[in-house]
Amino acid sequence: MDSGIRLEHFGLLEQYGGAPWTRTADQVAARDRLREPYKATKAWAEALQVKLFPDGRTDGRMAVINQGQHFSRYTWWRIYPRKSSPHELAYTVGIDCSGEFIVKLDTYQAAAPVHAAYVAESGPTIAASPFAAVMSAEEGVNLSFEALIDWSIAAIADFYPGYEELANRIGLAQTRLRLVIDPHVTRRQLDRWRAAVLEGSIARKGIRWVPDSPFVVRVVKAPDGRIRTELGHDPSGKNWTVEINEARQTGNPNSLSAVAVDAQGRSYLLRQGLLRKNGETEKGVSPSAFASRTGLTPVNVEVSPTGIERAWFLVAALEEKSDLIRKMTGRFVRACALARSTRSPAPTAEDVGYRLGADEKGGTYVIGSTGPQDEKIVSRKQGFVWLALQERLLERDIKIEKPGHSLGYEVDATVKRPGKRPLLIEIKTGATAADIHTGAGQLHLYPALIPAIAGHERILLLPGRPHEDVVAALAKLDIVVFTYDPGIEPDGSGIRFTSDFLELCGLD
């Protein structure tokens, strides 16, 4: 069975999309033909909903001519994972006049603040959005209907954040949570969370690296049988950013970690924003300071029977897949590191859009099957370079930070140097013309977007040295080239940096 979508439909969208509806004979004919891909899009959405979200619903409108009396530039249909999902956020499928099949998370009739928050999460383009996938018209029209559904399912599986997390980030999730008081349920959910975190981790010197996010973790069993989970970014394991520990009394609001459930029975791992002092900080972090420094909003939790109210923050949604649980956990660990940092204050009114990004992702990830193509295992080489550099610099207590912009732009690394200009480092895993073009553009674009890094020294870090004419041209753009050896080990342990680059970073 084919999808019912033809190349001719893309041509009609390109020709008539956006044109005023004047009811000429050719427009009437085009309108009638464009009803075909609308019907096909509706069938696509309904089949996807049945297969992926059996408790969900679909909605849409056959709008070849939109309410403004113009030809629509695209077809689309909405899919909600549950019947009770907020109508302002949906998975959507469709085709558009640019010549692409598109699956994405999108807003619908959302209030301005919600839509603005969505744009900040999605970034400036569909192609760059972390919760969108596109396929060319030429490739898509050759897929069977069943293969199109399979491609859509694989694409959605790679979205981050997922539906629930994105709804929470943009202000649509108003779910009220209840702390779990059953110790067996709590232990079972914590075991699930730890298993997800450790899945695919790499053992290094008595601790484990979680390359997806990345962070390091150590699991310790206390004499009383309770399990302590230490998380952070210090590969030596000397300083831990935050701990997730089993409570002596589950559901006690005085415990710093807890499991909670919503009205549908879905489980969540929570932690209070209180952070004890560690080897890196002389003082701890209060819950109010945690919220103001990280920008995170406490989740809505029922007040305990004791009447004691606490501010709880989401660590991970435990019903999600393991890779998403790790990503959410990594995000929380990064927030805790930001809360502890005395060198990285929270954004100010003068620095709108500035934020500190998540650490670079390492390891491998799976790109789901795109119809006739086999799955591709893609090495996140750049993440391993970032982790290796972090490990080396922390030997001298030099920390890497990743400033970013709320529109989705994020630098690879910045390094502060006492008495010297900080470094702005862009890491590439190739030294082709495309890599160099991209890196040079990023090193000039990011300082213009993020005022806090405007005066940084620009460094392009490559796995090989390009032609000297290219190096000289980059120098005229105030960009200095350094190289690294990527090694051949699959876990990135063979990555080596040149002595002159490490000396520039502060390692004598």
Confidence check: pLDDT of 145 > 50:
yes
Distance (Å, whole) CA 241 – CA 334 = 9
Lowest-pLDDT range of 13-17, 408-412, 434-438, 474-478: 408-412
Exposed / middle / buried, residue 1 (Cβ in 10 Å: 0-12, 13-18, 19+): exposed
Distance (Å, whole) CA 85 – CA 162 = 13
Distance (Å, whole) CA 117 – CA 112 = 9
Query: What's the whole-number mean pLDDT along residues 17-42?
Result: 95
Contact (CB, 8 A) for 491 and 455: no
Contact (CB, 8 A) for 403 and 450: yes
Confidence of residue 304 (pLDDT cuts 50, 70, 90): low
Contact (CB, 8 A) for 358 and 229: no
pLDDT of residue 342: 54
Size of the chain in residues: 508
Number of Cβ within a 10 Å radius of residue 438: 15
Residue identified by tokens 């750049």 is: 382
Confidence check: pLDDT of 476 > 60:
yes
Which amino acid does the sequence have at 381?
Answer: K
Contacts of 417 (CB under 8 A, 6+ apart): 423, 505, 506
Query: What's the whole-number mean pLDDT along residues 114-125?
Result: 87
Distance (Å, whole) CA 471 – CA 467 = 6
Q: Using the 8-state DSSP alphabet, how is residue 451 labeled?
A: G
Residues facing 245 on adjacent strands: 228
- Among 200, 278, 286, 191, residue whose Cα is nearest residue 243: 278
pLDDT of residue 405: 61
209-251 residue pLDDT tens: 887 777 889 999 888 888 999 999 888 888 899 999 998 888 7
Q: What is the 3-state secondary structure (H, E, C) of 110-168?
A: CCHHHHHHHHHHHCCCCCCCCCEEEEEHHHHCCCEHHHHHHHHHHHHHCCCCCHHHHHH
pLDDT of residue 224: 84
pLDDT of residue 376: 29
Phi–psi pair at 434, nearest 5 degrees: -65, -40
- Among 391, 416, 414, residue whose Cα is nearest residue 461: 414
Lowest-pLDDT range of 157-161, 278-282, 351-355, 447-451: 351-355
Contact (CB, 8 A) for 355 and 289: no
Q: Using the 8-state DSSP alphabet, how is residue 410 labeled?
A: B
Distance (Å, whole) CA 410 – CA 424 = 11
- CA distances for 77 relative to 24, 58, 59, 73, 92, angstroms: 27, 7, 6, 14, 5
Contact (CB, 8 A) for 91 and 110: no
pLDDT of residue 267: 92
Phi–psi pair at 293, nearest 5 degrees: -80, -30
Confidence of residue 371 (pLDDT cuts 50, 70, 90): very low
pLDDT of residue 91: 97
- Say what percent of the chain tops pLDDT 70: 89
3-class SS of residue 20: strand
Distance (Å, whole) CA 485 – CA 38 = 52
Phi–psi pair at 7, nearest 5 degrees: -60, -35
- Among 419, 446, 427, 333, residue whose Cα is nearest residue 389: 427
Contacts of 367 (CB under 8 A, 6+ apart): 154, 158, 375, 376, 378
Contact (CB, 8 A) for 440 and 406: no
Q: What's the mean pLDDT when you consider all of the chain?
A: 85
Query: What's the whole-number mean pLDDT along residues 392-419?
Result: 79
Query: What's the whole-number mean pLDDT along residues 309-326?
Result: 88
Query: What's the whole-number mean pLDDT along residues 170-190?
Result: 87
